[in-house]
Amino acid sequence: MTHLATSRRTAAPRIGEDAPRPDGVPKVAGTFAFSSDLHHDRMLWGGTLRSPHASARIRSLDISAAVAVTGVHAVLTHEDVPGSPNYGLEHRDQPVLAADVVRYEGEPVAIVAADNPEAVRMAIDAIAVDYEPLEPLVDPDLAERADPIHPDGNLVRRINLVHGDQGVRGEVQVEGIYEVGMQDQAFLGPESGMAVPAEDGGIDLYVATQWLHSDRDQVADCLGLDTARVRLTLSGVGGAFGAREDLSLHVHLCMLALHTRRPVKMVYSREESFHGHVHRHPARMWFRHHADRDGTIVRVESRLVLDGGAYASSSGAVIANATCFAVGPYRVPSAHIDGAVVRTNNPPCGAMRGFGAVQTCFAHEAQMDRLADALEMDPVELRLHNALAPGDELLTGQTITGTAPVAEVIRTCADHPSGASMAVDPMELPGGAGRTADPEHVVRGEAFALGFKNLLFSEGFDDSSEASCRLADGVATITSACAEVGQGFVTLAQQITREVLGVDGVVLLPASTDGIGSAGSTSASRQTWMSGGAIQEACGQVRVQLLDRLAFEHGVDAADLVVADGRVVSMAGGLEVDLAEATAEPIEASVVFRHAPTLPLDGNGQGDAHVSFAFSAHRAIVDVDVELGLVKVVELTTSQDVGRVLNPLQTVGQLEGGAAQGVGLAVMEEVLVQDGRIRNASFTDYLVPTALDMPPVEIAALIEQAEPGAPFGAKGIGEPPSISSTAAVAAAIRDATGLDLPRVPVRPTDIVFPEGAA
């Protein structure tokens, strides 16, 4: 266990220290260039015409009036897409621009470039589209029986996981149906970027994304260009959380720039952003848990239906996670989990922090509490009794060979003393600044939840990361296409380099597709491990070359040399060389880093599909105004399995920030979709937790057990905080109110009219 107080603070911090972000100063000074801040003297503005219908046939499309608007340089439709008409992360099933049908509200139909945003808007308004509206398919439960809304059919993926003896029945059974609403990533920096046509007929795209090389390949495909002529450079990213894993305006910008031979800039409005990226999948989940009287879980049955919306995005991987981790971090010897993700005319869904594990955690933790009730057992004891441990088998038949400090995570979180006092200021009561709460109607609840998920990509996917290191004149230059989206990889990259090479000066080149291979996606809690691992190995190779060179030059044994504080010295004494001098002749190394291979799931959802796992627990304390149905989350306490802490300050930041998104899903965040149309596409109507909504997050423990294969033993830490937090808050509201509350977000009406009168 690490205590933050033990961390060191030095001028050039290394592993385990509170290194400040290298981009911190420009970010506080307001000079850091986000993708919406880009400017070019010759630039045009771009914009997008989107479908107002969730489902419609396009009878005709007339752009003549739009072309005639003063200041307009291009109006392009599906006919102008030079290459592949479709793109997509897993399946190329999503049109760059709609041709004969639109399948969700907000689907792009035409794009415009003009001298200024006003001309863009006028041109968009002047495009005449004759739609024949169709009855949208909006109920995911009906999708498999309904007429296909897409040539690929309405079932995106089903995993029928069958594990262990199917004849097992428990002495005690509990059953429940649960639902999770659609959450938005709500990053603050809107989708934006700039495409600049290049001399060679290619294109340079500056954009905020999570995965430059995947974007590059899809963009090149759609433009009909060789990948060598499509160069992407990461622009400042204003948060991501999964919503920037898919393409948004990328191909549109490039088409407009290539067509006009001018740089083109585009910035989505907030409303457009809600239509312009995928959301967290809404889920409907049925569970039946079987246990023996002593609390041992013997079997779990479950059916999961996730609404993928109109296009596949990463739905296939999301349902795999939801299914594989459906029962939580518990030993379950027998299971049948039927997981399906379907296509509807609702907004497309894909990656969001926690990626399928968030939805099922809400359900399996509610089931664990129900089971504890039925057994008249302490809910924390029930969890401890069934907690996974190294050597145990998962639902997929895979044995956990790495670390799994589940019991430690449970105990440290549950035993941590609470600092929560009763509210004194009315602002601290439910309803907050509205000062609506009557303290007599406020009840307090407390509950505990546990969650886990996989780290890195699964099911045989080779998500390698390439990095190079060049040590010259004592300064290390690192090249990696890893997308910094706010998580702090740029800090870790410097720390890792300093640790391995003993240098203070580390330069991290801008992330781009030029001159380096893919770093993989900034998702799945994978970059510390994968790109961190690539940098560690590249620096390690440079170090070996350096020591070999000096050993040869000075006739000493390389094993006797150490690098520290900008010098190379021999332990036996006698040799001391300044690193800058020793690297006047530069040394370089480039590495493609791979994690241990995984296998696809078989027809029964069985197989060694995952690399590693991370576990977290949250305890929530809430106050509920039962008269008004308002909730105030008073305190969150957490423990997390982190492998090893590389940067204490950033670790705390991830745990607090992830928990905030979990609180949001528990009590306020939902994309309201009615007849396939989003009703609250703004920050006025889609509520994100403010500083008054968020409680303090107490970190009970960071469990440090070095994970084999991970650089310095560090696990990814970004996602677990968003997994168990929602479940804990919802359970605490149940504890306070005595209500079932089988759905998140918990709405005021769910508390005031619990019988569904709302």
Partner 1 sequence: MSTDPFVLEVNGRSHEVTDAHPGESLLRVLRERLGLAGSKNACEEGECGSCTVLVDGQTVCSCLVLASTAAGRQITTIEGVAGDDGLSHVQEAFVDAGAVQCGFCTPGLIVSTGSLLESDPDPSDLAVREAISGNLCRCTGYGRVLEAVHLAATRLGGST
Residues that bind partner 1 (CB under 8 A): 18, 20-21, 23-25, 27-34, 36-37, 39, 118, 185-190, 236-241, 267, 269-270, 425, 427-428, 433, 485-488, 649-650, 652-653, 656-661, 682-684, 688-692, 694, 696-697
Nearer to partner 1 by C-beta: 233 or 536? 233
Please state the closest distance from residue 526 (CB atom) to partner 1, in A: 18
Nearer to partner 1 by C-beta: 60 or 70? 70
Please state the closest distance from residue 606 (CB atom) to partner 1, in A: 38
Distance between CA atoms of residues 238 and 32, nearest Å: 11
Structure tokens at 337: 């989990």
Please state the closest distance from residue 181 (CB atom) to partner 1, in A: 18
Nearer to partner 1 by C-beta: 609 or 660? 660
Distance between CA atoms of residues 567 and 555, nearest Å: 18
Nearer to partner 1 by C-beta: 162 or 427? 427
Please state the closest distance from residue 292 (CB atom) to partner 1, in A: 40
Residue among 56, 673, 667 at smallest CA distance from 307: 673
Nearer to partner 1 by C-beta: 37 or 627? 37
Nearer to partner 1 by C-beta: 186 or 611? 186
Distance between CA atoms of residues 393 and 399, nearest Å: 4
> Across the strands, what pairs with 494?
none
For the chain, report the end-to-end CA distance as a whole number of angstroms. 47
Distance between CA atoms of residues 86 and 99, nearest Å: 11
378: left (phi over 0), alpha (psi -120 to 50) or beta: beta
**CA of 255: how far to CAs of 249, 293, 340, in Å?**
10, 65, 36
User: Exposed, middle or buried, 448 (CB in 10 Å: 0-12/13-18/19+)?
Assistant: buried
Name every residue whose Cβ is closer than 8 Å to that of residue 145 and which is 6 or more positions away in sequence: none
Nearer to partner 1 by C-beta: 309 or 662? 662
Kindly calculate the radius of gyration of the chain based on its CA atoms and give it in whole angstroms: 27
Name every residue whose Cβ is closer than 8 Å to that of residue 149 and which is 6 or more positions away in sequence: 55, 103, 137, 310, 343, 344, 345
Nearer to partner 1 by C-beta: 18 or 393? 18
Please state the closest distance from residue 73 (CB atom) to partner 1, in A: 18
Residue among 657, 658, 641, 653 at smallest CA distance from 716: 641
Distance between CA atoms of residues 174 and 377, nearest Å: 14
Q: Where are the beta strands (DSSP E) in 107-253?
A: 108-114, 128-133, 155-163, 172-180, 192-197, 203-207, 230-234
Distance between CA atoms of residues 637 and 23, nearest Å: 30
Nearer to partner 1 by C-beta: 401 or 690? 690
747: left (phi over 0), alpha (psi -120 to 50) or beta: beta
Nearer to partner 1 by C-beta: 85 or 239? 239
Structure tokens at 351: 């990656």
Please state the closest distance from residue 387 (CB atom) to partner 1, in A: 27
Name every residue whose Cβ is closer than 8 Å to that of residue 531 and which is 6 or more positions away in sequence: 465, 467, 480, 482, 489, 493, 519, 520, 593
Please state the closest distance from residue 614 (CB atom) to partner 1, in A: 18
Task: Look at the alpha carbons of 471, 472, 475, 480 in this order and tell me if their dihedral is positive or negative.
Answer: negative
Q: Where do we find the tokens 């920037």?
A: 244
Q: What share of the chain is helix, strand, coil (3-state, %, to 5)?
A: 30, 25, 45
Please state the closest distance from residue 691 (CB atom) to partner 1, in A: 4
Nearer to partner 1 by C-beta: 236 or 348? 236
- How, if at all, do strands 172-180 and 283-291 pair? antiparallel
Residue 212 backbone dihedrals phi, psi, to 5 degrees: -60, -45
> How many CB atoms sit inside 10 A of residue 676's CB?
21
Please state the closest distance from residue 429 (CB atom) to partner 1, in A: 12
Residue 442, classed as helix, strand or coil, is strand
Name every residue whose Cβ is closer than 8 Å to that of residue 245 and which is 6 or more positions away in sequence: 89, 209, 210, 211, 214, 278, 313, 314, 350, 351, 521, 523
Please state the closest distance from residue 659 (CB atom) to partner 1, in A: 6
Please state the closest distance from residue 681 (CB atom) to partner 1, in A: 11
Nearer to partner 1 by C-beta: 109 or 243? 243
Please state the closest distance from residue 660 (CB atom) to partner 1, in A: 3
Please state the closest distance from residue 688 (CB atom) to partner 1, in A: 5
Please state the closest distance from residue 373 (CB atom) to partner 1, in A: 31
Please state the closest distance from residue 367 (CB atom) to partner 1, in A: 27
Please state the closest distance from residue 493 (CB atom) to partner 1, in A: 16
Distance between CA atoms of residues 639 and 408, nearest Å: 9
- The distance from CA 218 to its chain's CA centroid, rounded to whole angstroms, is 20
Nearer to partner 1 by C-beta: 23 or 381? 23
Nearer to partner 1 by C-beta: 237 or 361? 237
Nearer to partner 1 by C-beta: 37 or 393? 37
Please state the closest distance from residue 238 (CB atom) to partner 1, in A: 3
Please state the closest distance from residue 649 (CB atom) to partner 1, in A: 4
Residues 610, 454 contacting (CB under 8 angstroms): yes
- The distance from CA 727 to its chain's CA centroid, rounded to whole angstroms, is 18
Nearer to partner 1 by C-beta: 88 or 242? 242
Nearer to partner 1 by C-beta: 267 or 551? 267
Nearer to partner 1 by C-beta: 160 or 682? 682
Angle, nearest 10°, between helix axes 720-737 and 357-375?
40
